[in-house]
Structure 1
Amino acid sequence: MRIASVEDDPDQAELIRQILSEAGFECESFANGADFLRALRERAYDLLLVDWQLPGTSGYELVSWVRQKSGNMPPILFVTSRTAESDIVDGLTVGADDYMLKPIRAGELIARVRSLLRRAYPEAAQEVELIRRGNYIVDTHARTITVGGEPALLSPREYELALFLFRNTGRLLAREVMEQAVWGRAMGAGSRTLDTHISRLRLKLALRPENGVRLTSVYSHGYRFEEASAADVEADEAGADA
């Protein structure tokens, strides 16, 4: 799914792009409404995220224009600091489908985006996504993970964490991003919740090079989940024999 984000604050724009990219979405950022409208002439987007306060054309005016020209599609989510009830009512009345207040929370943003996409594209939501890594198959429709053809017994939270890892293979994942994506909030420096769930996944899914993957802890940052190379398998076997 291709998502457009219109946000003039560079830090906020990068945060939105990072959160959505790590959740498996393609996100293109625009610093103002004019740049977005120029891009809209050449390509379509499945979802639009809009800040209210933008240079030049306001987010309110941008949403109004899109609705007049494009009808009910694509779904639109306001992401803004304007908290007054009248602003929320005006934003929804002009044509937005949902309204989210800053500061941005990764779990909430992903949940709202997925909810809007499910409602707007119900047929796509029913498509089965199969993720294959080594000896693993993740079936997102059935919410199951098999290892060498055998189903793994996971709790709902363990499944969500595993799915996040498999969708972000090869990326360095910050602890805060993982916690926001799975639990909807950052746990804090003293929490061991994430590490406990990671330990359970290592055992239940046998996350080892012999099964085609490698999960490593990155000091002071988070974790990296990646496909294992032949050298990784040899090193793991040598370590087991030592």
Structure 2
Amino acid sequence: MLIAIVEVSNHNDPCIEKTLLKSGYQCTAFQTPDAFLAAADNVIFDLILVECDAVCSNVVAFVHLLRGRFGTFMPILLLSRSESEADAERSVLAGANECVPRATSEDRFLSYLAAWLRWAHYSTVKDKHFGVGRYRVMVPQRRVHVGDQTIRLTEKQFDIATAFLMNIGRVLTRDHLCNLVWGFQLGTVSRRVDTHVSQLRDKLLLDGRYGLQLLTIYGVGYRLVMVDDDLEAIA
């Protein structure tokens, strides 16, 4: 789960980055909006966190730009040193999902991130029918077809399956999966994630025979990859 921290103020606060890293997120901090926009051409971010002193015209214009570039389902949160209701209203009208006061407690701040990340995943896939190789996913019906088979999945297994199938080749950490499916960080559900993924690998035949192989990245998470005719994973 990769979060961009973009500074639009005169105060760089390294505590935010430390909080995210400590909580299991990957993040990259950018000192200016231009630096972020240049990097975003080559990196996929899951959430954009904009740090600002207040929701001024520059911040509003930047949020407009972000929403136009990244579309409806990219979570954009403002972290403002101002706590005024007017700032919160301006941020939402500009296209941000939420304006979080800088004085918000760490636990509550992290809960906002988890909730919006889960919202983004659900909103992205909820009306989709899509295919990956010989796999077909009917999200509204919550069904997965493999070849000529219809695979029955539990609700959590289906949510994990869509996360993998929409991120071919990308390493998904256990924290990332927890955020998308349960809405919070790992904690006590680490074994539950591994159990669901193990069952999913067997149910969806993700061993290469249908063109997809689910790899375990030890100590990190999992990666679903396309395979060649010899059933060797493509790096």
User: Structure 1 CA distance, aligned partners of 2:80 and 2:192?
Assistant: 31
From the superposition, tell whether residues 88 and 189 of structure 1 become closer, same or farther in structure 2 (CA, over 3 Å): same
Residue type matched to 1:132 in 2?
V
8 A Cα contact 1:80 1:100, kept in partner: yes
1:92 is aligned to: 89
* 1:155-174 mapped onto 2 (5 Å cutoff): 155-174=154-173
Consecutive unaligned residues in structure 1, runs of 5 or more? 20-28, 40-47, 119-123, 234-242
1:203 is aligned to: 202
Shift of 1:96: 4.2
From the superposition, tell whether residues 50 and 138 of structure 1 become closer, same or farther in structure 2 (CA, over 3 Å): same
Shift of 1:221: 1.2
State the Cα deviation string for residues 9-33 of structure 1 (Å, max 9, x = none): 6985xx8xxx8xxxxxxxxx96435
2:117 is aligned to: 110
Residue type matched to 1:99 in 2?
E
3-state DSSP of counterpart to 2:168: coil
* 1:1-242 mapped onto 2 (5 Å cutoff): 7-8=6-7, 31-32=31-32, 35=34, 51-53=50-52, 59-65=55-61, 77-80=76-79, 82=81, 86-93=83-90, 95-97=93-95, 98-101=97-100, 102-103=109-110, 107-113=114-120, 128-133=128-133, 135-188=134-187, 191-232=190-231
3-state DSSP of counterpart to 1:220: coil
8 A Cα contact 2:151 2:203, kept in partner: yes
Shift of 1:175: 1.6
User: Structure 2 CA distance, aligned partners of 1:162 and 1:125?
Assistant: 13
1:26 is aligned to: none
Shift of 1:88: 4.7
3-state DSSP of counterpart to 2:215: strand
TM-score of the two chains, using structure 1 as the length reference: 0.60
User: Structure 2 CA distance, aligned partners of 1:106 and 1:196?
Assistant: 25
From the superposition, tell whether residues 215 and 49 of structure 1 become closer, same or farther in structure 2 (CA, over 3 Å): closer
3-state DSSP of counterpart to 1:208: coil
8 A Cα contact 2:118 2:179, kept in partner: no
8 A Cα contact 1:174 1:223, kept in partner: yes
Larger Rg belongs to: 1
TM-score of the two chains, using structure 2 as the length reference: 0.61
Q: Report the identity percentage.
A: 23
Residue type matched to 2:89 in 1?
L
Q: Figure out how many residues of one structure are paired with residues of the other and give that number.
A: 195
Residue type matched to 1:146 in 2?
H
Residue type matched to 2:84 in 1?
D
User: Structure 2 CA distance, aligned partners of 1:183 and 1:129?
Assistant: 23
